Structure 1
């Protein structure tokens, strides 16, 4: 048994988690409830920025596949407890724990938190099923793991916002985790790690709050094809209108936007 940073992270059984992660379907992952020491988790939950604060400092998403979410990656805007969490999850000690659990050597944290940091989703927000970008262009690193920690006290099941893990054909949701307070989910990121967040139907005065970080290696994973890609979205089986109409229209809109931008630059 391990008592990692007893002041912050609860006692965890690394060997047990490693066994669970290796055999987990549809791709390697593990979930821990009561991940952080209760006092520390409460401290973070109480200090989590309000929606109006995050809206001023973060990036908001309004696309077909990702809507109603705001993220803050600049740690200068993090309250002290979240800064502490960020430092812990980027520490060499925690990286060694992840390496042992997930069987990946030489993990690295991203100091810039590209795509990570504070995430907040309001009512009717969602994140469709996708695989993440596989290569960090600025750092020249291969993306290997996601960690998600939730800070939603008294979250109700009907409010949705579950993180879902799907099979590689995106035909069946294999695992679904409600974003309850102090739940941690870690999973491998590769070309079949399809995951998404169901629509959030919380009350108007509530938000779905989480912290996300991603881990990398200099060495490519065994399945590396040599082709970097950005986020790839897939519609769920019951999302035919989105699949056949809304997603193609959005793709066309982005292409037109890029074309217009190039034309103006050369005008």
Structure 2
């Protein structure tokens, strides 16, 4: 039986009544988990719904300028498909994931109240990592600038049939100092991982995908926020860190950019940014 047995398998909607208490039974274990609050739930969605998402994976209706592909040392052979580029049925499922009853379940489970969905789906949607690809250990960006809200929760649903540990792509959870790996989670079909998103929640799938039939690693990625951002917090983009004794590479581009932001007065920074944008338009 699916964990979300209260979810409609066709629409992905949950009635407000059925969402009232769903998830509360997992909250204590979630909050007390190490190295940061998280949970792993197998058979999360109704199986029919998870299968429909997989069957329609990345079926596009255009708008490919919203999709993003990454090819660098920290993110290799990764593509993110924005929900607004997907076919209508799949798009509607993502809108259901942003609905109030679904948010209520996530609030019950995590204990984080007042969750706000992202109508822009910044960084969210369908994620695919192809053969040889990986995502290095990192903490996610913490500030949704257009809405001025704070990122709080990641919810990932994996869509990989018959996936084995030796195929790579495991989600790893590490402590903030990158001294210890606490969990290595195989991204099997309909497995959901939910965790608190902070500047110290180090996670990633650093082991390259290595499927014998070159099948890609697929997942749904959803991010939720709260209206708790204030001027005392420092906004940052994705923060990559290296694993001890590994061949991971530092993200010097981001580190140098942040150093510049710390040292250069804001007025000079703005003028430099305006100049760079004008030069880019002139090319």
TM-score by length of 1: 0.84
* TM-fit CA distance, 1:204: 5.4
* TM-fit CA distance, 1:15: 2.6
* TM-fit CA distance, 1:50: 7.1
Tell me the secondary structure at the aligned position of residue 93 of structure 2.
helix
Candidates 49, 55, 78, aligned match of 1:69: 78
Unaligned 5+ segments in structure 2 are 260-271
Tell me the secondary structure at the aligned position of residue 242 of structure 1.
coil
Give 1:134-173 correspondences, 5 Å limit: 134-173=142-181
Evaluate the alpha carbon distance shift between residue 9 and residue 235 of structure 1 in structure 2; reply closer, same or farther with a 3 A threshold.
farther
* TM-fit CA distance, 1:220: 3.6
Q: Is residue 3 of structure 2 the alignment partner of residue 19 of structure 1?
A: no
Evaluate the alpha carbon distance shift between residue 249 and residue 87 of structure 1 in structure 2; reply closer, same or farther with a 3 A threshold.
closer
Evaluate the alpha carbon distance shift between residue 82 and residue 238 of structure 1 in structure 2; reply closer, same or farther with a 3 A threshold.
farther
Contact 1:64 1:250 in 2 (8 A): no
CA distance in 2, matches of 1:134, 1:57: 21
Unaligned 5+ segments in structure 1 are none
Candidates 33, 36, 40, aligned match of 2:45: 36
* TM-fit CA distance, 1:80: 4.2
* TM-fit CA distance, 1:54: 11
Evaluate the alpha carbon distance shift between residue 57 and residue 153 of structure 1 in structure 2; reply closer, same or farther with a 3 A threshold.
farther
Tell me the secondary structure at the aligned position of residue 173 of structure 2.
strand
Contact 1:133 1:230 in 2 (8 A): yes
Contact 1:9 1:37 in 2 (8 A): no
* TM-fit CA distance, 1:2: 7.5
* TM-fit CA distance, 1:101: 1.4
* TM-fit CA distance, 1:186: 0.6
Give 1:1-267 correspondences, 5 Å limit: 3-7=5-9, 8=12, 14-49=23-58, 58-73=67-82, 75-198=83-206, 199-203=208-212, 205-220=214-229, 225-240=232-247, 242-243=249-250, 247-248=251-252, 262=276, 265=279
CA distance in 1, matches of 2:122, 2:43: 26
Evaluate the alpha carbon distance shift between residue 50 and residue 206 of structure 1 in structure 2; reply closer, same or farther with a 3 A threshold.
farther
Evaluate the alpha carbon distance shift between residue 250 and residue 92 of structure 1 in structure 2; reply closer, same or farther with a 3 A threshold.
closer
Contact 2:242 2:248 in 1 (8 A): no
CA distance in 2, matches of 1:124, 1:154: 18
CA distance in 1, matches of 2:122, 2:217: 20
Evaluate the alpha carbon distance shift between residue 201 and residue 253 of structure 1 in structure 2; reply closer, same or farther with a 3 A threshold.
farther
Evaluate the alpha carbon distance shift between residue 137 and residue 57 of structure 1 in structure 2; reply closer, same or farther with a 3 A threshold.
closer
Evaluate the alpha carbon distance shift between residue 239 and residue 128 of structure 1 in structure 2; reply closer, same or farther with a 3 A threshold.
same
CA distance in 1, matches of 2:29, 2:194: 12
* TM-fit CA distance, 1:18: 0.6
* TM-fit CA distance, 1:55: 8.4
Contact 2:170 2:186 in 1 (8 A): yes
